[in-house]
């Protein structure tokens, strides 16, 4: 019988090592695959990077037609939605240099109102093409220039008559006749009135519109400058006679004039700064200042005080030209007050509905 030989010890160990190594390698591969699977599951689904979407901006084309002939003047293209009408006017000026922006009047309809420069162009759009009608407003001037020119003239003209130029009055008669104190007082009051207007134009008033036609400034200057010449000629004339009731009439009229001037100034300040936040959402209310209490009775107290100043000046000087000028100012101020009162009724109906426009009960 043959006996089965046992492998030697070194060979036996080598076989076991080889078998065990194979098993360990298989086990390590399994663990590595398992760990990789867990990592993929924990990371979630693989996503492709997001695709950037480019936002599309819609531009408008503004077709500008002549208001009379309806002929096309030009097309302003590539107008962004955020543009204002003033931006369109500037582009229109580049295409047609003879019409600068302040001279251009644009309307949605031929008989419609002129659109404001601050209006957003997108609010006018029904489609990508906007049709506007053009009107040449003529030569324009700024409101500040308008009022400075209108008020500087009377100030200087009155002083020329006050010094009694030899080209205006007889020099011998001027030196012979004594000047009544009311002549000096009238010069002071007249200068104070127009200096106040000039300072308020520069530092108080805030003008909503940028320009006005040049012809309006010519009309205003002709009115104020012409009446100032007529008034100053009579008051500073060497043969001027003082008021009938003398010192008492002059004193009361001068006091009323100064009160009206002060009231007019405080009302203009209140209108310019209706509240500390600067918004104009509510009608101005009276403050601790007594001159603003007139807001309780009328909606346009600045016109009330303006008329009061000229009536007081007419009583103080007792001259026909001042009386006629005061009468015309009453008519003009009442028309302006009625127009503004209607606007106030639309915006501030509960606060204004029981108030008069300029003079309580009458207007």
Domain ranges of the chain: 60-138, 139-240, 243-274+285-362
Average pLDDT, the chain: 85
Q: Above 60 in pLDDT, residue 225?
A: yes
Q: Which residue has the higher pLDDT, 232 or 353?
A: 232
For residue 140, give the DSSP letter: E
Q: Is pLDDT above 80 for 7?
A: no
High-pLDDT (> 90) share of the chain, %: 61
CA nearest neighbour of 164 among 174, 178, 177, 154: 174
Are 146 and 217 within 8 A, CB to CB?
yes
Average pLDDT estimate for 69-94: 92
CA distance 62 to 163: 59
Report the Cα–Cα distance between both ends of the chain, in Å, rounded.
149
Q: DSSP per residue over 161-211, as a string?
A: HHTT-TTTS-HHHHHHSPPPHHHHHHHHHHHHHHHHHHHHHHHT---SSSE
Burial level of 51, CB count in 10 A (0-12/13-18/19+)? exposed
Length of the chain (residues): 363
Q: Is 13 exposed, middle or buried (0-12, 13-18, 19+ CB in 10 A)?
A: exposed
Q: Are 99 and 127 in contact (CB under 8 A)?
A: no
pLDDT bucket at 210, cuts 50 / 70 / 90: confident
* DSSP-based three-state secondary structure for 361: coil
Q: Tens digits of per-residue pLDDT, 272-320?
A: 877 444 455 677 888 899 999 999 999 999 999 999 999 999 999 999 9
Q: What is the mean pLDDT of residues 90-115?
A: 91
The residues with which 63 forms a beta bridge, in sequence order, are 75, 131
**φ and ψ at residue 106, rounded to 5 degrees:** -115, 140
Q: What is the pTM of this model?
A: 0.78
pLDDT in tens, 141-172: 999 999 999 999 999 999 999 999 889 998 88
Tell which CATH architecture fits domain 60-138. Answer: Roll (3.10)
Cα gap 279→282, rounded to integer Å: 8
Most confidently predicted of 26-35, 53-62, 89-98, 190-199? 190-199
């Amino acid at each position: 019988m043959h006996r089965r030989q046992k492998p030697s010890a070194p060979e036996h160990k080598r076989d076991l090592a080889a078998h065990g190594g194979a098993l360990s390698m298989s086990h390590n591969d399994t663990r590595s695959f398992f760990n990789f699977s867990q990592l993929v599951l924990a990371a979630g689904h693989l996503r492709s990077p997001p695709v950037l979407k480019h936002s599309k901006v819609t531009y408008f084309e503004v077709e500008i037609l002549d208001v009379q002939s309806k002929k096309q003047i030009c097309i302003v293209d590539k107008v962004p939605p955020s543009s204002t009408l003033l931006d369109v006017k500037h582009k229109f000026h580049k295409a047609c240099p003879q019409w600068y922006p302040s001279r251009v009047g644009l309307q949605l309809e031929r008989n419609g109102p002129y659109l404001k420069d601050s209006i957003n162009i997108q609010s006018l759009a029904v489609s990508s093409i906007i049709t506007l009608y053009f009107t040449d407003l003529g030569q324009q001037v700024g409101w500040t220039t308008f009022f400075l020119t209108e008020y500087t003239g009377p100030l200087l003209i009155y002083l020329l008559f006050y010094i009694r130029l030899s080209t205006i009055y007889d020099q011998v008669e001027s030196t012979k006749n004594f000047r009544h104190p009311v002549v000096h007082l009238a010069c002071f009051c007249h200068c104070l009135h127009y200096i106040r207007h000039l300072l308020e134009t520069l530092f108080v008033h805030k003008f909503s519109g940028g320009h006005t036609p040049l012809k309006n400034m010519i009309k205003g200057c002709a009115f104020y400058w012409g009446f100032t010449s007529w008034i100053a000629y009579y008051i500073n004339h060497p043969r001027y006679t003082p008021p009938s009731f003398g010192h008492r009439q002059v004193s009361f009229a001068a006091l009323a004039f100064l009160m009206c001037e002060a009231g007019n100034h405080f009302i203009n300040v209140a209108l310019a700064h209706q509240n500390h936040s600067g918004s104009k959402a509510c009608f101005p209310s009276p403050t601790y200042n007594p001159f603003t209490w007139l807001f309780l009775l009328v909606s346009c107290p600045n016109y009330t005080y303006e008329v009061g100043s000229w009536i007081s000046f007419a009583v103080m000087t007792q001259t026909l030209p001042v009386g006629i000028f005061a009468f015309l100012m009453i008519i003009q101020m009442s028309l302006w007050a009625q127009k503004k009162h209607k606007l106030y009724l639309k915006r501030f109906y509960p606060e204004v509905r029981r108030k008069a426009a300029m003079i309580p009960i009458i207007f």
